[in-house]
Every structure is written in C-alpha cells, then in structure tokens.
Amino acid sequence: MDIENIKKEALDKLENIKDSVDLESFKRDYLSKKGKIRDLFSLVKDLPIEEKKTLGQKINQLAQEIEEVFLLKEKDFIKEKKEEIDLTLPAKPTDLGSLHPITQIRREMERIFQLMGFSVVEGPEIEDEWHNFDALNIPEGHPARDALSLGKTFYLKGGNVLRTQTSSAQVRYMKKMKPPIRIIVPGKVYRYETTDASHETNFFQLEGLLIDENVSVANLKAVLKKFLEEFFKREVEIRLRPSYFPFTEPSFEVDMLCTVCDGKGCAACKRTGWVEILGAGMVHPNVIKNGGLDPKKYKGFAFGLSIDRPTMMKYKINDIRLFHSGNLNFLKQF
Ligand code: PHE
C-alpha cells in the first residue's frame, strides 16, 4: 500500500470520527507504534540509501500531517464535550460530618456550668501517680489504689498512669488558682476493665470543684439540682446517699428520681425509682492541704459525673461501645 493511499484512508477516517471510541481506535490504528504509519517504515528498510532518504522523509511528513489533523479533531471533541455539561443540574450533596454525641453533650454540660460561674479547664490524661492517687488521699497500699470502685489502673513504663478519674486535676488547680475556685474538668479517663454494654476502658467524665470559705453540702445539692434541671429541661428530684471516696468526707452517691417512670419503678431504674447519676462529697481536708490551702479556712465540694451515661440516657443508646466504634451509620444519627 503506498503512502498516498494510506493518507487518503486516514483523512477519511478522521473525517468520520464521531465519539471518543472512534478517536481512540484511530490513534491505535494509525498513530501508535504498531500503527499503519509506523508500518510504512518497514518498506523503506531494504531500499538503497538515496531512496531510503526520500521515502523516509515523505513518511515523516505524512505522520506529521495526520497527527496535526488528529489533534485538531481531538480538541474540537473535548470542547464539544464540555459544552454538554448541564449547569442547571443540582450539585451533588457534600458529605457533611457531625459532632460526636459525646461532644454535643459535653458542650451542653459546659454551657450550663459556665452559666453558674464555673470555668472549663483541662488536665493531663497521662498523669503521675501522685496526682491520680496520693494527692487525693489514696496512699500507696490503700485498697482504692486498685479497687473495683476505680477500676484497674493502666500503668505506663516509667511509673505514670492513664488517669482513672478526672479528680486527678483537683489538686493541680488548687495549687494553680486562688480561692474562690469554681472549675469543671471534662475529659477522658481510662480503666483496665472487661468491656460490655455499660463498661468501656475509655470513657468521659466531668469533674466539678468548688473551694471557698463557707461551703456546705446544701450548696453542693443546690448546684447539682440546678444543673440536672437545666440538662434534662424539667424539674428533677435528687437524693444524696452516703458513700465513700477517699478524697471527700462526707461522700455521697447522688441519685435522681427516674425521669422515665417518675419514681414509680421501671426497667430504666431497675424498679427502684431512682437512677444513680454521680459521685460527690465535701473535699477532704487532706486534699485541701495537698493543694496548698488551709483546710481550717477553706472548704469545698467536688463531684464527678459520667458524660457517657447521660448521653446514653438522652439518646436512648443501649451500648456504650458504640461511641468508639467508628460506625458511621451510628454517628450519622446525631
Ligand atoms: N472520681 C469519682 C469516680 O470516678 C467521682 C467523684 C468525684 C466523687 C469527685 C467525689 C468527688 O467515681
């Protein structure tokens, strides 16, 4: 087949290109390394040197010419394709993230305490043993150092621990601030526990601490009641049950009249009419001393509240492990 024939054929084909498939097959058939134009060079191979030269030049010229026409065609084609885009079509919806339910509830709790004059502060999650235990009146050998009430402690190489409770921040801030002190410390705590629907090795607490000259249990009760009423957006009744924490004296377990059955007894409150909601008490004089303050002059109350549990109550979530599951179907609901 001679050069002129191939040229005619190629130009013809180019003329009739209708879509990107035609465009691609033309490129493959004529312009690629194994295409018809390259093929022509095999004719030249065995010719005498002078003819080789002229024919070679002709083939090169042809290749150039065809390629130019091809490129123009390709350009037209892209332009046409662009014009096909329908700008009136609605845009694809963007996948928006949302705040984690725990974050939403934490912020709501912070908002309420801030309205009552508390400042939001943070403490380290990697804590030294002194702040996590000793400063809180839990000396070496004390059963609470590794008791069930605290869960088991994660010890790190070098002697630090992952804090088992946000209470570890109490003494840090007593040393840092001057009374009156009114702080809340929201954050992660860690306990080495077997997990189930209501236990996690990593969950959230919110610590409260108030230190001033004349502070009583009545103040503690009033602040907690006010907080719970704001949080649950309804009237609530609370009761203080005697309990034990090494860092408070007296210590209480604070229960709330069950909001599901109004105290009549139901599955949510295990038929008792009351739901345990937080631990609290009057700050132990030893702890005030460890904070560098005079326990004869200053008194205070402290409380510790799970953030996970009220979140589960509010959104009716029945398994605490969902919070860290990374399951988007779960998270998208909030
Ligand atoms: N830190 C206690 C707990 O984790 C709660 C608590 C905080 C109790 C402050 C009394 C005072 O259970």
Q: Read off the pLDDT of residues 229-247 as tens digits, 9 standing for 90 and up.
A: 999 999 989 999 999 999 9
Burial string for 140-156 (b: 16+ CB within 10 Å, else e) reads eeeebbeeeebbebbee
Name the residue of 133, 165, 217, 306 to mutate for ligand 1: max ligand atoms within 8 A of Cβ. Answer: 165
Q: Residue 241 is encoded by which pair of tokens? A: 């049950």
Which residue's CA is minimally distant from atom 10 of ligand 1?
280
Distance CA 245, CA 257 (A): 23
Nearest atom within ligand 1 for CA of residue 303: 9
- Pocket residue to mutate for ligand 1, from 131, 132, 167, 305, most atoms within 8 A of Cβ: 167
CA atoms within 13 A on the CB side of 319: 9
Low-confidence ranges of the chain (pLDDT < 70): 1, 82, 144-151
CA distances from 162 to 34, 202, 258 (A): 67, 10, 33
Q: Encoding tokens for residue 59? A: 């083939």
Q: Whose CA is nearest to atom 7 of ligand 1?
A: 304
Of 182, 179, 135, the residue nearest 286 (C-alpha): 135
Residue 64, classified by CB atoms within 10 Å of its CB into exposed (0-12), middle (13-18) or buried (19+), is exposed
Atom of ligand 1 nearest to the CA of 305: 5
What is the C-alpha end-to-end distance of the chain, expressed in Å? 72
pTM exceeds 0.75: no
- Ligand 1, CB cutoff 6 Å, lining residues: 165, 167, 245, 248, 279-281, 302-304
What are the residue ranges spanned by the domains of the chain? 3-83, 101-331
Q: Report which residue type is found at 239.
A: R
Report the nearest-CA residue for atom 5 of ligand 1. Answer: 304
β-bridge partners, 205: 187, 306
Of residues 284, 111, 307, 134, the one with CA closest to residue 205: 307
Class of domain 101-331: alpha beta
pLDDT at 151: 55
